């Protein structure tokens, strides 16, 4: 069975953007692959933060992940800092990663432009990501399109380590060189089927820092309060103006939450000005409630029994520490430690 790894920052309760863009897919993949999902606190601290808030957000994220369908009997869910080998391997990879590769990363360019003083952690962020993945020698990584470049760097690091420290096999490569074992696999991207979810402002990707999200565990009233004023097709000014569903974020949310027949009906009603945007949003709210009610119910159960969350994280960390130790035993040996 192939192994997959993916990580998520401890940003608190999930919102529908990271649920649709990642976690819903993980809940499906856990039945098809040996699955490891990590709450990556060391990545989160590359931005200014409050320690107490980090603790609370980590707990809220763990609870959301389990409520959203990750089953500790089917996959491992754990907290990155409970497996110290992540940072050990990241340091080792730092020593073989070309600086130019890191400076070329689009996310580094974007994040560093927004800050006066740029911490080295932002530059080295994808090296830690490579360590997260390769520590478990994962074959595949479920990612959104915006993460493909970072994953490519993990592949570069994997090749570089193998060709420098992999044990000699005694065979020759096609070009006559000495062949080395491929200890680290080159992890392949497993592209998430749902396209990037835009925020309710219709301007940018849904993200907590932009304040344009719908929390996954929000009440129906809370969800409606956010959907009602959400941006739609800007050319539909009057109720009688026909719209273009493809340019409307509400339509894309229908595609994520509503059954195919409803999605078709929405597109038709929009194009013919058969209904107003509020009617359309009411149908979306109903579809969302159908999917989100069982998640909210499960979250309430977990809130009442926090030990279930703690036990799941402890079991995940224990398994991952064992796997991490196996990898690091080989890495240390091959590198002369």
Which residues contact ligand SF4 by CB under 6 A? 232-233, 236, 243, 245, 248, 250-251, 266, 270, 277, 280-281
Q: Cβ closer to ligand SF4: 215 or 276? A: 276
Cβ 215 to ligand SF4 shortest distance, Å: 21
Q: How far is the CB of 213 from ligand SF4 (least distance, A)?
A: 18
Strands 178-180 and 168-172: antiparallel
In the bound complex, what is the minimum distance in angstroms from residue 59's beta carbon to ligand SF4? 36
Taking the least distance from each CB to ligand SF4, the nearer of 86 and 281 is 281
How many helices (H) and strands (E) would you count in the chain?
14, 7
* Closer Cβ to ligand SF4, 142 or 245, answer by number: 245
Query: Which tokens go with 124?
Result: 């080295």
Residue corresponding to tokens 């090749």? 159
Residue 3: its H or E element: strand 3-8
Closest contact distance (angstroms) between CB of 196 and ligand SF4 is 17
Q: List, by residue number, the catalytic residues.
A: 111, 205, 208
Token pair for 54: 């980090």
Nearer to ligand SF4, 250 or 331 (CB): 250
* Residue 143, phi then psi, degrees to nearest 5: -140, 155
Residues in CB range of 100: below 8 A, 6 or more apart: none
| Residue number with CB closer to ligand SF4 (189 or 245) | 245
Q: Are 16 and 214 in contact (CB under 8 A)?
A: yes
Q: Closest distance between ligand SF4 and the C-beta of residue 248, in Å?
A: 3
Distance CA(256)–CA(260), nearest Å, equals 10
CB of 15 to ligand SF4, least distance (A): 20
Would strands 140-143 and 75-79 be described as parallel, antiparallel, or unpaired?
Answer: unpaired
DSSP letters for 149-181 = HHHHHHHHHHHHHHHHHSPEEEEEPTTSSEEE-
Beta-carbon count within 10 A of 329 CB: 10
Task: For ligand SF4, give the closer residue by CB, 196 or 319.
Answer: 196
Tokens of 171: 């065979």
In angstroms, rounded to a whole number, what is the distance separating the alpha carbons of residues 308 and 84? 23
Alpha carbons 135 and 118: distance in angstroms, whole number: 27
Residues sharing a CB contact under 8 Å with residue 329, sequence separation 6 or more, in sequence order:
none
Q: Starting from the edge strand earliest in sequence, which strands make up the sheet with 3-8, in order?
A: 75-79, 34-39, 3-8, 140-143, 188-191
Compute the least distance from the CB of residue 313 to ligand SF4, in Å. 40
Beta bridge partners of 37: 6, 77
Between 207 and 262, CB nearer to ligand SF4: 262
């Amino acid at each position: 069975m192939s192994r997959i790894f993916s990580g998520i920052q401890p940003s608190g309760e999930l919102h529908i953007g990271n649920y649709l863009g990642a976690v819903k897919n993980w809940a499906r993949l856990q039945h098809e692959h040996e699955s490891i999902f990590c709450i990556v606190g060391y990545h989160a601290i590359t931005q200014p933060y409050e320690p107490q808030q980090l603790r609370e957000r980590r707990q809220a994220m763990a609870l959301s992940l389990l409520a959203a369908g990750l089953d500790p009997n089917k996959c491992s869910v754990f907290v990155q800092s409970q497996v110290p080998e992540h940072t050990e391997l990241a340091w080792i990879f730092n020593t073989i990663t070309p600086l130019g590769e890191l400076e070329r990363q689009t996310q580094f360019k974007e994040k560093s432009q927004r800050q006066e003083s740029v911490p080295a952690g932002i530059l080295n962020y994808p090296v830690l990501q490579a360590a997260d993945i390769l520590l478990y020698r994962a074959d595949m990584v479920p990612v959104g399109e915006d993460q493909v470049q970072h994953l490519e760097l993990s592949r570069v690091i994997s090749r570089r380590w193998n060709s420098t420290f992999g044990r000699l096999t005694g065979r020759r490569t096609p070009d006559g060189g000495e062949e080395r074992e491929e200890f680290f696999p080159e992890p392949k991207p497993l592209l998430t089927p749902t396209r990037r979810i835009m925020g309710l402002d219709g301007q940018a990707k849904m993200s907590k820092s932009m304040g344009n999200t719908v929390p996954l565990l929000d009440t129906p009233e809370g969800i409606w309060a956010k959907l009602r004023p959400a941006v739609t097709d800007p050319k539909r000014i009057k109720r009688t103006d026909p719209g273009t569903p493809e340019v409307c974020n509400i339509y894309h949310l229908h595609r994520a939450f509503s059954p195919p027949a409803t999605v078709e009906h929405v597109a038709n009603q929009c194009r013919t000005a058969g209904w107003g945007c509020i009617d359309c949003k009411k149908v979306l709210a109903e579809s969302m409630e159908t999917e989100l009610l069982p998640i909210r119910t499960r979250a309430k159960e977990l809130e009442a029994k926090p030990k279930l969350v703690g036990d799941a994280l402890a079991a995940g960390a224990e398994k991952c520490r064992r796997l991490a130790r196996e990898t690091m035993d080989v890495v240390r040996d091959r590198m002369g430690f």
